[in-house]
A and B are shown apart, each in its own frame.
Chain A
Amino acid sequence: MKLLILIPAFNEEGSIVGVIKEVHDVMPGVPVLVVDDCSEDATRSLAAAAGAGVLPMPFHLGLGGCVQAGYRLAYELGYDYVVRVDGDGQHNPKYIPKIVETLQREGCEMVIGSRFVNGAGEHTGLLRALGIVFFRFMLRPILGKTVHDPTSGFVGVNRTALALFSKSFPLEYPEIEALVVLQRKRFRFVEVPVVMRPRRAGRSTITALRSLYYPVHVLLGVFVNVLKFEGRRK
Protein backbone atom coordinates (compact mmCIF):
# COMPACT_ATOMS: atom_id res chain seq x y z
CA MET A 1 0.00 0.00 0.00
CA LYS A 2 1.38 3.38 -1.05
CA LEU A 3 0.25 6.13 1.31
CA LEU A 4 0.99 9.85 1.08
CA ILE A 5 0.30 12.52 3.66
CA LEU A 6 -0.65 15.78 1.94
CA ILE A 7 -0.30 19.08 3.77
CA PRO A 8 -1.56 22.19 1.96
CA ALA A 9 0.08 25.25 3.49
CA PHE A 10 -0.01 29.00 3.05
CA ASN A 11 2.08 31.14 5.41
CA GLU A 12 2.28 28.44 8.10
CA GLU A 13 5.88 28.92 9.24
CA GLY A 14 4.76 28.92 12.87
CA SER A 15 3.22 25.46 12.73
CA ILE A 16 4.45 23.53 9.69
CA VAL A 17 7.55 21.98 11.31
CA GLY A 18 5.54 20.73 14.29
CA VAL A 19 2.88 19.23 12.03
CA ILE A 20 5.45 17.40 9.88
CA LYS A 21 7.26 16.11 12.96
CA GLU A 22 4.02 14.83 14.46
CA VAL A 23 3.14 13.07 11.19
CA HIS A 24 6.58 11.46 11.06
CA ASP A 25 6.18 10.31 14.68
CA VAL A 26 2.79 8.73 14.02
CA MET A 27 3.53 7.41 10.53
CA PRO A 28 7.27 6.71 10.32
CA GLY A 29 8.49 6.08 6.81
CA VAL A 30 5.37 7.48 5.16
CA PRO A 31 6.21 10.31 2.75
CA VAL A 32 4.88 13.76 3.54
CA LEU A 33 4.16 16.27 0.77
CA VAL A 34 3.69 19.93 1.63
CA VAL A 35 1.92 21.85 -1.13
CA ASP A 36 3.14 25.38 -0.58
CA ASP A 37 0.63 27.84 -1.98
CA CYS A 38 3.26 30.48 -2.72
CA SER A 39 3.79 31.43 0.93
CA GLU A 40 5.42 34.77 1.68
CA ASP A 41 7.15 33.43 4.78
CA ALA A 42 9.60 30.57 5.40
CA THR A 43 7.03 27.78 5.11
CA ARG A 44 8.65 26.24 2.05
CA SER A 45 12.22 26.07 3.38
CA LEU A 46 11.13 24.97 6.86
CA ALA A 47 9.01 22.17 5.41
CA ALA A 48 11.89 20.95 3.25
CA ALA A 49 14.28 21.10 6.19
CA ALA A 50 11.82 19.10 8.30
CA GLY A 51 12.04 16.25 5.79
CA ALA A 52 8.91 16.81 3.73
CA GLY A 53 8.73 16.91 -0.03
CA VAL A 54 7.60 20.35 -1.17
CA LEU A 55 5.36 20.99 -4.15
CA PRO A 56 5.91 24.70 -4.77
CA MET A 57 3.04 26.53 -6.45
CA PRO A 58 4.39 29.39 -8.62
CA PHE A 59 1.44 31.65 -7.70
CA HIS A 60 -1.16 31.70 -4.94
CA LEU A 61 -3.90 29.34 -6.12
CA GLY A 62 -6.17 29.05 -3.12
CA LEU A 63 -6.87 25.93 -1.10
CA GLY A 64 -8.70 23.90 -3.75
CA GLY A 65 -6.14 24.45 -6.50
CA CYS A 66 -3.38 23.67 -4.06
CA VAL A 67 -4.96 20.42 -2.83
CA GLN A 68 -5.77 19.37 -6.39
CA ALA A 69 -2.12 19.83 -7.38
CA GLY A 70 -1.17 17.47 -4.55
CA TYR A 71 -3.80 14.94 -5.63
CA ARG A 72 -2.57 15.15 -9.23
CA LEU A 73 1.02 14.48 -8.22
CA ALA A 74 -0.03 11.63 -5.92
CA TYR A 75 -2.06 10.07 -8.71
CA GLU A 76 0.81 10.37 -11.19
CA LEU A 77 3.22 8.83 -8.70
CA GLY A 78 0.91 5.86 -8.20
CA TYR A 79 -0.21 6.38 -4.60
CA ASP A 80 -3.13 4.25 -3.39
CA TYR A 81 -4.22 6.50 -0.53
CA VAL A 82 -3.75 10.14 0.37
CA VAL A 83 -4.61 11.68 3.71
CA ARG A 84 -4.89 15.46 3.84
CA VAL A 85 -3.76 17.18 7.02
CA ASP A 86 -3.94 20.96 7.35
CA GLY A 87 -0.71 22.83 7.94
CA ASP A 88 -2.05 24.91 10.83
CA GLY A 89 -1.97 22.09 13.36
CA GLN A 90 -5.75 21.75 13.81
CA HIS A 91 -5.72 18.16 12.59
CA ASN A 92 -4.15 15.73 15.02
CA PRO A 93 -2.05 13.20 13.04
CA LYS A 94 -2.79 10.48 15.62
CA TYR A 95 -6.08 9.91 13.72
CA ILE A 96 -4.35 9.20 10.39
CA PRO A 97 -4.08 5.42 11.03
CA LYS A 98 -7.80 5.30 11.82
CA ILE A 99 -8.64 7.13 8.57
CA VAL A 100 -6.42 4.84 6.49
CA GLU A 101 -7.72 1.73 8.22
CA THR A 102 -11.32 2.84 7.54
CA LEU A 103 -10.52 3.52 3.88
CA GLN A 104 -9.18 -0.02 3.53
CA ARG A 105 -11.83 -1.75 5.61
CA GLU A 106 -14.85 0.01 4.13
CA GLY A 107 -13.53 0.17 0.58
CA CYS A 108 -15.07 3.64 0.30
CA GLU A 109 -13.61 6.45 -1.74
CA MET A 110 -13.32 9.02 1.04
CA VAL A 111 -13.12 9.07 4.82
CA ILE A 112 -13.86 12.31 6.63
CA GLY A 113 -12.41 13.06 10.04
CA SER A 114 -15.45 14.49 11.78
CA ARG A 115 -15.49 16.49 14.98
CA PHE A 116 -19.23 15.94 15.39
CA VAL A 117 -19.69 12.17 15.05
CA ASN A 118 -19.03 11.37 18.69
CA GLY A 119 -17.75 14.64 19.98
CA ALA A 120 -19.26 18.02 20.61
CA GLY A 121 -17.16 19.82 18.06
CA GLU A 122 -14.45 21.16 20.31
CA HIS A 123 -12.54 24.23 19.14
CA THR A 124 -15.21 25.24 16.64
CA GLY A 125 -16.20 28.91 16.53
CA LEU A 126 -19.88 29.85 16.81
CA LEU A 127 -20.11 31.13 13.22
CA ARG A 128 -18.48 28.03 11.80
CA ALA A 129 -20.65 25.76 13.96
CA LEU A 130 -23.77 27.51 12.64
CA GLY A 131 -22.48 27.16 9.08
CA ILE A 132 -21.82 23.45 9.62
CA VAL A 133 -25.36 22.89 10.92
CA PHE A 134 -26.78 24.82 7.96
CA PHE A 135 -24.80 22.85 5.37
CA ARG A 136 -25.46 19.57 7.16
CA PHE A 137 -29.20 20.02 6.66
CA MET A 138 -28.86 21.48 3.19
CA LEU A 139 -26.69 18.59 1.98
CA ARG A 140 -28.86 15.88 3.52
CA PRO A 141 -31.26 15.51 0.55
CA ILE A 142 -28.48 15.93 -2.00
CA LEU A 143 -26.10 13.38 -0.49
CA GLY A 144 -28.82 11.04 0.70
CA LYS A 145 -27.34 10.87 4.18
CA THR A 146 -26.20 13.12 6.97
CA VAL A 147 -22.61 14.30 6.90
CA HIS A 148 -21.99 15.65 10.39
CA ASP A 149 -18.91 17.68 9.53
CA PRO A 150 -19.07 18.67 5.85
CA THR A 151 -16.46 21.43 6.23
CA SER A 152 -13.76 19.14 7.59
CA GLY A 153 -10.55 19.14 5.59
CA PHE A 154 -9.13 16.18 7.52
CA VAL A 155 -9.90 13.58 4.86
CA GLY A 156 -8.45 10.48 3.32
CA VAL A 157 -9.11 9.38 -0.25
CA ASN A 158 -8.38 6.23 -2.21
CA ARG A 159 -6.99 5.96 -5.74
CA THR A 160 -10.42 6.04 -7.39
CA ALA A 161 -11.19 9.38 -5.76
CA LEU A 162 -7.67 10.57 -6.59
CA ALA A 163 -8.33 9.87 -10.27
CA LEU A 164 -11.55 11.86 -10.10
CA PHE A 165 -10.14 14.78 -8.10
CA SER A 166 -7.11 15.01 -10.40
CA LYS A 167 -9.51 15.98 -13.15
CA SER A 168 -12.27 17.75 -11.28
CA PHE A 169 -11.92 19.46 -7.91
CA PRO A 170 -13.54 22.59 -6.51
CA LEU A 171 -11.04 25.40 -6.39
CA GLU A 172 -11.82 27.84 -3.60
CA TYR A 173 -13.65 26.25 -0.67
CA PRO A 174 -13.42 22.62 -1.70
CA GLU A 175 -14.64 20.49 1.20
CA ILE A 176 -18.41 20.71 0.75
CA GLU A 177 -18.39 20.79 -3.05
CA ALA A 178 -16.05 17.79 -3.13
CA LEU A 179 -18.73 15.76 -1.37
CA VAL A 180 -21.21 16.64 -4.11
CA VAL A 181 -18.61 15.79 -6.79
CA LEU A 182 -18.22 12.35 -5.16
CA GLN A 183 -21.96 11.88 -4.90
CA ARG A 184 -22.34 12.62 -8.62
CA LYS A 185 -20.17 9.57 -9.29
CA ARG A 186 -22.04 7.49 -6.72
CA PHE A 187 -18.84 7.19 -4.69
CA ARG A 188 -19.07 6.36 -0.99
CA PHE A 189 -17.74 8.33 1.93
CA VAL A 190 -17.88 7.66 5.65
CA GLU A 191 -17.05 9.71 8.73
CA VAL A 192 -14.81 8.75 11.61
CA PRO A 193 -14.73 10.67 14.89
CA VAL A 194 -11.74 12.92 15.50
CA VAL A 195 -10.99 15.72 17.92
CA MET A 196 -9.77 18.92 16.34
CA ARG A 197 -7.34 21.28 18.01
CA PRO A 198 -7.08 25.06 17.93
CA ARG A 199 -4.81 26.44 15.18
CA ARG A 200 -1.24 26.67 16.46
CA ALA A 201 -0.08 29.80 14.70
CA GLY A 202 -0.93 32.15 11.85
CA ARG A 203 -4.37 33.30 10.80
CA SER A 204 -7.22 31.66 8.95
CA THR A 205 -7.64 32.75 5.33
CA ILE A 206 -11.38 33.01 5.94
CA THR A 207 -11.67 36.56 7.25
CA ALA A 208 -14.87 38.19 8.54
CA LEU A 209 -15.72 39.49 5.07
CA ARG A 210 -14.96 36.16 3.41
CA SER A 211 -17.09 34.31 5.95
CA LEU A 212 -20.06 36.19 4.45
CA TYR A 213 -19.01 35.27 0.93
CA TYR A 214 -18.22 31.64 1.83
CA PRO A 215 -21.80 30.31 2.10
CA VAL A 216 -22.85 32.12 -1.08
CA HIS A 217 -19.94 30.67 -3.04
CA VAL A 218 -20.41 27.17 -1.63
CA LEU A 219 -24.19 27.21 -2.21
CA LEU A 220 -23.64 28.25 -5.81
CA GLY A 221 -20.97 25.58 -6.26
CA VAL A 222 -23.25 22.90 -4.82
CA PHE A 223 -26.11 24.08 -7.03
CA VAL A 224 -23.91 23.98 -10.15
CA ASN A 225 -22.66 20.49 -9.29
CA VAL A 226 -26.19 19.24 -8.72
CA LEU A 227 -27.20 20.65 -12.10
CA LYS A 228 -24.26 18.91 -13.76
CA PHE A 229 -25.37 15.70 -12.10
CA GLU A 230 -28.93 16.05 -13.40
CA GLY A 231 -27.60 16.72 -16.88
CA ARG A 232 -25.50 13.56 -16.86
CA ARG A 233 -28.35 11.39 -15.67
CA LYS A 234 -30.33 12.24 -18.80
Chain B
Amino acid sequence: MAGDVLPIKTSDDVVRVRQQTRVRALEAGLSLVDQTKIITAASELARNTLDYGGGGEVRIELLQNLSRRGVRLTFVDRGPGIPDINQALTDGWTSGGGLGLGLSGAKRLSNEFSIHSVVGEGTTVMIARWK
Protein backbone atom coordinates (compact mmCIF):
# COMPACT_ATOMS: atom_id res chain seq x y z
CA MET B 1 0.00 0.00 0.00
CA ALA B 2 1.52 3.26 -1.17
CA GLY B 3 1.43 6.10 1.33
CA ASP B 4 2.95 9.51 1.82
CA VAL B 5 3.09 11.75 4.86
CA LEU B 6 3.11 15.46 4.06
CA PRO B 7 3.53 18.33 6.53
CA ILE B 8 0.88 21.07 6.71
CA LYS B 9 2.66 24.13 8.08
CA THR B 10 2.05 26.83 5.46
CA SER B 11 -0.53 27.65 2.81
CA ASP B 12 1.92 26.35 0.18
CA ASP B 13 1.66 22.96 1.90
CA VAL B 14 -2.10 23.02 1.28
CA VAL B 15 -1.33 23.29 -2.44
CA ARG B 16 1.08 20.33 -2.18
CA VAL B 17 -1.55 18.24 -0.36
CA ARG B 18 -3.96 18.89 -3.24
CA GLN B 19 -1.32 17.90 -5.79
CA GLN B 20 -0.38 14.66 -4.05
CA THR B 21 -4.06 13.77 -3.50
CA ARG B 22 -4.56 14.21 -7.24
CA VAL B 23 -1.66 11.82 -7.98
CA ARG B 24 -3.14 9.12 -5.71
CA ALA B 25 -6.70 9.67 -6.94
CA LEU B 26 -5.48 9.10 -10.50
CA GLU B 27 -3.65 5.93 -9.45
CA ALA B 28 -6.82 4.70 -7.78
CA GLY B 29 -8.65 5.20 -11.06
CA LEU B 30 -11.26 7.59 -9.68
CA SER B 31 -13.53 9.31 -12.20
CA LEU B 32 -12.92 12.99 -12.92
CA VAL B 33 -15.82 14.08 -10.70
CA ASP B 34 -14.69 11.81 -7.85
CA GLN B 35 -11.10 13.07 -8.19
CA THR B 36 -12.39 16.64 -7.96
CA LYS B 37 -14.46 15.78 -4.88
CA ILE B 38 -11.65 14.12 -2.94
CA ILE B 39 -9.13 16.84 -3.89
CA THR B 40 -11.57 19.54 -2.79
CA ALA B 41 -12.25 17.69 0.48
CA ALA B 42 -8.47 17.37 0.99
CA SER B 43 -8.08 21.11 0.46
CA GLU B 44 -10.80 21.93 3.02
CA LEU B 45 -9.32 19.62 5.66
CA ALA B 46 -5.73 20.73 5.03
CA ARG B 47 -6.84 24.32 5.56
CA ASN B 48 -8.65 23.35 8.77
CA THR B 49 -5.48 21.62 9.99
CA LEU B 50 -3.53 24.80 9.26
CA ASP B 51 -6.01 27.43 10.48
CA TYR B 52 -7.63 25.72 13.46
CA GLY B 53 -5.17 22.95 14.36
CA GLY B 54 -2.10 25.15 14.23
CA GLY B 55 -0.56 22.91 11.57
CA GLY B 56 -0.02 19.19 11.44
CA GLU B 57 0.36 16.50 8.81
CA VAL B 58 -1.56 14.30 6.45
CA ARG B 59 -1.08 10.69 5.42
CA ILE B 60 -2.28 10.00 1.87
CA GLU B 61 -2.79 6.34 1.00
CA LEU B 62 -3.77 4.41 -2.06
CA LEU B 63 -6.21 1.71 -0.93
CA GLN B 64 -6.52 -1.57 -2.67
CA ASN B 65 -8.46 -4.62 -1.63
CA LEU B 66 -9.80 -7.56 -3.59
CA SER B 67 -12.68 -5.76 -5.16
CA ARG B 68 -11.90 -2.08 -5.29
CA ARG B 69 -9.45 0.78 -5.07
CA GLY B 70 -9.61 4.15 -3.41
CA VAL B 71 -7.79 6.94 -1.61
CA ARG B 72 -7.66 7.57 2.10
CA LEU B 73 -6.42 10.74 3.80
CA THR B 74 -5.76 11.08 7.51
CA PHE B 75 -5.20 14.60 8.87
CA VAL B 76 -3.58 14.90 12.29
CA ASP B 77 -2.98 18.03 14.33
CA ARG B 78 -2.03 18.70 17.95
CA GLY B 79 -4.14 21.83 18.20
CA PRO B 80 -6.78 22.83 20.75
CA GLY B 81 -9.22 20.07 19.74
CA ILE B 82 -12.93 20.46 19.04
CA PRO B 83 -15.17 20.68 22.15
CA ASP B 84 -18.43 19.97 20.29
CA ILE B 85 -17.98 17.85 17.16
CA ASN B 86 -21.67 17.88 16.24
CA GLN B 87 -21.63 21.65 16.25
CA ALA B 88 -18.41 21.71 14.20
CA LEU B 89 -20.12 19.47 11.63
CA THR B 90 -23.00 21.91 11.20
CA ASP B 91 -23.07 23.85 7.94
CA GLY B 92 -22.21 27.47 8.49
CA TRP B 93 -20.80 27.04 11.97
CA THR B 94 -17.28 28.36 12.32
CA SER B 95 -14.98 29.19 15.19
CA GLY B 96 -12.81 31.25 12.86
CA GLY B 97 -13.31 33.51 9.89
CA GLY B 98 -14.24 30.83 7.38
CA LEU B 99 -17.52 29.90 5.80
CA GLY B 100 -18.04 26.94 8.12
CA LEU B 101 -18.21 24.48 5.24
CA GLY B 102 -14.84 22.77 5.66
CA LEU B 103 -15.70 19.83 7.88
CA SER B 104 -19.32 19.30 6.81
CA GLY B 105 -18.41 19.82 3.15
CA ALA B 106 -15.49 17.37 3.31
CA LYS B 107 -17.83 14.81 4.87
CA ARG B 108 -20.36 15.19 2.05
CA LEU B 109 -17.61 14.89 -0.58
CA SER B 110 -16.30 11.58 0.83
CA ASN B 111 -17.56 8.00 1.00
CA GLU B 112 -16.10 7.49 4.46
CA PHE B 113 -15.56 10.04 7.18
CA SER B 114 -14.44 9.80 10.78
CA ILE B 115 -13.27 12.36 13.30
CA HIS B 116 -11.60 11.99 16.65
CA SER B 117 -10.83 15.01 18.77
CA VAL B 118 -9.63 15.51 22.33
CA VAL B 119 -9.70 19.01 23.80
CA GLY B 120 -6.16 20.15 24.53
CA GLU B 121 -4.61 17.27 22.57
CA GLY B 122 -5.64 17.59 18.96
CA THR B 123 -7.83 16.32 16.15
CA THR B 124 -7.64 13.48 13.65
CA VAL B 125 -9.91 13.44 10.59
CA MET B 126 -10.03 10.52 8.15
CA ILE B 127 -11.77 10.56 4.77
CA ALA B 128 -11.84 8.01 1.97
CA ARG B 129 -13.22 7.92 -1.55
CA TRP B 130 -13.65 4.61 -3.38
CA LYS B 131 -13.71 3.95 -7.07
Q: Do A and B come from one complex?
A: no
Interface residues of B (CB under 8 A from A): none
